Structure 1
Amino acid sequence: MSTFIQQLPALLGVVIGALGSYLVVMRGEQVRFRRERETRWEERRLSVYADWARALKQSITLTYRVASHLGDDPHPHPLSPEEAAPLMAEATVARDPSGEALLLLGSPEVVEKARAWVVTVMRMEEFLRAGTRDPAAWQVLLERQRAGREAYYVAVREDLALPPGHAARWQLPSPPPHYGDGERLDQGDTDRPGAGDGGPPGAGDGGQR
C-alpha cells in the first residue's frame, strides 16, 4: 500500500497530463471545425449575393434596351416594349429563387440594401411601361440604380470582411448625338458610360451599369 501511495502523485500527474492533452486537442478540433464551418457559410453567402446581383442585372439590362428604343438611353441594342415584355417577365421569375436564398442566408443589412436596389429597378420598369420619353428623368433613375448597386456591394463586402472594391464607374466618351429611335440626347451627359453603366469599353450591355 505504501508503494502505491508513493506512486500515486506520479499516476495522478500522468492522468492529469493525458486529460490536459485531450482537452487541448478537443479544443483545437472545435476551433478548426468552427473556422471551417464559418468559411463554408461565407463562401455560400458570397455565392448567394453574387447570384442575386447577376439575376437582377438581367432585368436591368433589359430596361436599358427598352429605354434605348424609347430614346431615353444610348444602349446600342434597342428592344421594343412588345419584344421585351416576355423577357422581362422571365427575368423577374428567374430572380425569385436567388431572392429566397438571399432572405435565408443574407445578413439583415445586405437584404435591406438588396430591397432598396430592386425597388429602384421596379421604378425603372414602371417608367418604361408608361412609355415615357424623358432622357433626363431616366438619367435620375439610372443614378439611383447605380447608387443602389453600390450600396449593396458595400454591404456585401462588409458582411464578408472583404476589402473595398471599385465603384464601377469609368469615364468614357459621350454617346453619339442620336440613338434609339432617333431622338437626341440633349443633356450634357459626359460621364455617362455610353452603352454601359460604368462598364469597360466593349462590354456589350455595359458590363457594370
Structure 2
Amino acid sequence: MASQIITLIGVLMGAITSFFATSWAERARFRQTMATRWDERKLDTYVEYISCVKETSRAAKRMLEAHFEGRDVGGPLAEMEAAEARRSVLFEGLVLLGDEAVSTAAVTVNERLWDLLKSTRDPDSIPAPVRDAMGPAIIDALNNLHRAARADLAIGARVGATGQP
C-alpha cells in the first residue's frame, strides 16, 4: 500500500510539474507573440512617419524653387501643407507606440521641419545660408530618430539563445 501511495504522489507531482511547465511556456509564447505584433506595428509607424517627413521636406524644397524661379507656388504650397497635416497625425501614433527616446527624437525632427516650413512660407525673411542649413539639420535629426527606432526595436542587438535580446 505504501508503494501505491508513493506512485500516486509521483504521478501527482509529475502532473503538477507538467501543468506549470506548460503554463509557463504558453505565457512566454504569448508574450513573444504580443511583442512581435507591437514591433511590427512600431516599424510600420516609424517608416510611415519618416517617409512623411521626407515628403514634407521635398514639398518645401519644390515650393522654394517655385518661389525663387517666379512660378506659381500654389500647388507646391498645398502639397506641403497636406504633407505636414499628415505628418502631424502620424506623429501621434509614433508617440503612442514609441519609447521615450523615439518620442524625443521625433520632437526634434518636428522642430527642424517646422523651421524649414516657416522659412518656406516666407523665404525672403530668412537669409539663404540659414535656410540652406535647415536641410542638413533635418537629416541629422532623422538620423537620430533612426538610431532611437532601431534601439527600440532591438535591431542590431545581440540575440541570445532564447531569441530575446
CA spacing shift, 1:24–1:79, aligned 2, 3 Å: farther
Residue deviations 1:160-190, cap 9 Å, x none? 11139xxxxxxxxxxxxxxxxxxxxxxxxxx
Q: How much identity, in percent, do the aligned residues show?
A: 23
Cα shift readout 1:95-133 (whole Å, capped 9, x = no counterpart)? 233122112111111011111111111111111222237
1:33 pairs with 19, 30, 33, which one?
Answer: 30
Do the aligned partners of 1:81 and 1:129 also contact (CA within 8 Å) in 2? no
Aligned residues: 156
Greater fraction helix: 2
- For residue 118 of structure 2, the aligned residue among 110, 126, 137 is 126
- What's the offset of the Cα at 1:142? 1.4
Pairs within 5 Å for 1:1-209: 3=1, 5-71=2-68, 80-132=72-124, 134-163=127-156
CA RMSD of aligned residues (A): 2.2
Q: Distance in 2 between matches of 1:130 and 1:44?
A: 37
Task: Structure 2 unaligned segments of length 5 or more: list them.
Answer: 158-165
Contact (CA 8 Å) 1:114, 1:152: kept in 2 or not? Answer: yes
Preserved CA contact (<8 Å) 2:60 2:77: no
Corresponding residue for residue 174 of structure 1: none
Listed as ranges, the gaps of 5+ residues in structure 1 are 73-77, 165-209
Query: Which residue in 2 is equivalent to 1:187?
Result: none
The TM-score normalised by the length of structure 2 is: 0.85
Following superposition, the deviation at residue 92 of structure 1 comes to 1.9
